[in-house]
Amino acid sequence: MQTILDWINNNQDMLIEYSIKVIIAIVILIASRIASKIVTGIMRRGMEKKEVDGAVISFLSAIVKSIIFITALLVALSQIGVQTTSFIAILGAAGLAIGLALQGSLSNIASGVLLIMFRPLRAGEYVECGGTAGTVEEINIFQTILMTPDRKVVYVPNSQVIGSAIVNYNREPLRRIDLVIGVSYSANLQHTKKVLMEELEKDERILEDPAPVVTVTALNSSSVDFNVRPWTKTEDHWPTRWDLLERIKDRLDEEGIGIPFPQMDVHMKKDQ
């Protein structure tokens, strides 16, 4: 114990100097954290004023935070006497080894950059990608976050998103409703077509341009199938579809137009 105290007494100046350097390094790290919040806050406000997509804002904010932290860490290490040149060389060698071990993660980062550059999907859009359908909540460095219609949060790796077909349901302002309505063979086709068109004309959400289409599409084994294809604004697609199905069923019942069940005629032959 006395030996330790003697060593401390003999090296007070060095300990004080080193303690000051450590405190300065800690202050640098704390300041970098505060600075990253300030910088990313300013970035967010500026990009929100320019109506930049929320997914882009989240991705760039994460990148800026990482850059500020790494820079501050190198400065802090330099402050306490660590040779950052050799440290960077060590980091480079370690980075190569880690890169080989984490190829999937690096692929996700590269895919995230491509998603931000080409923007096949944006925050708030309903998409199908990577085997999942949902509303885009955020695109971060590694993952794209989707919210499904039943309020489940799904984290899809960016590499899966960029490596699969992306179906974007909100990018275009208009969307077509595709219905197949089957009626019995005894129904008058022209009258049925007129009835279906009248139901389309009653709904104000259905657009006149492009014009809706009602046409016979198939003569099936037990029904004559009509294609009913009106156009709506994208946000009206599902409510209009559900209402149309209900109204068409009621109207066909009123007009005495049958909607047949699948059926098969069986003929039995008696031996004499």
Distances (CA, A) of 242 to 17, 145, 183, 229, 231: 75, 28, 19, 14, 14
Residue ranges of the chain assigned to CATH 3.30.70.100: 174-254
Do 115 and 158 contact (CB within 8 A), yes or no?
A: yes
Alpha helices in the chain (DSSP H): 2-10, 12-49, 54-79, 84-101, 103-118, 158-162, 189-202, 237-254
Which CATH code, of 3.40.50.720, 3.30.430.20, 3.30.70.100, 3.40.50.9100, is assigned to 174-254? 3.30.70.100
The whole-angstrom separation of Cα 129 and Cα 133 is 6
User: Cα(140)–Cα(62) distance, rounded to whole angstroms?
Assistant: 7
Tell me the CATH number for domain 9-101.
Answer: 1.10.287.1260
210: tokens are: 């492009």
Which residues of the chain does CATH 2.30.30.60 include? 120-168
Nearest to 121 by CA among 170, 62, 79, 74: 170
**Which option is the CATH number for 120-168: 3.40.50.10420, 1.10.287.130, 3.20.20.140, 2.30.30.60?**
2.30.30.60
CA-based nearest residue to 147, from 120, 108, 115, 121: 121
Q: Output the tens digit of pLDDT for each of the chain's 272 residues.
A: 556 666 556 666 666 677 777 788 788 888 888 888 888 888 778 777 766 666 667 777 777 787 888 777 777 777 776 665 655 665 665 555 545 444 556 778 788 878 877 888 888 899 999 889 999 998 887 889 999 999 999 999 988 998 889 999 998 999 999 999 999 988 999 999 999 999 999 999 999 999 999 999 999 888 999 999 999 999 999 999 999 999 999 999 999 998 887 766 677 777 76
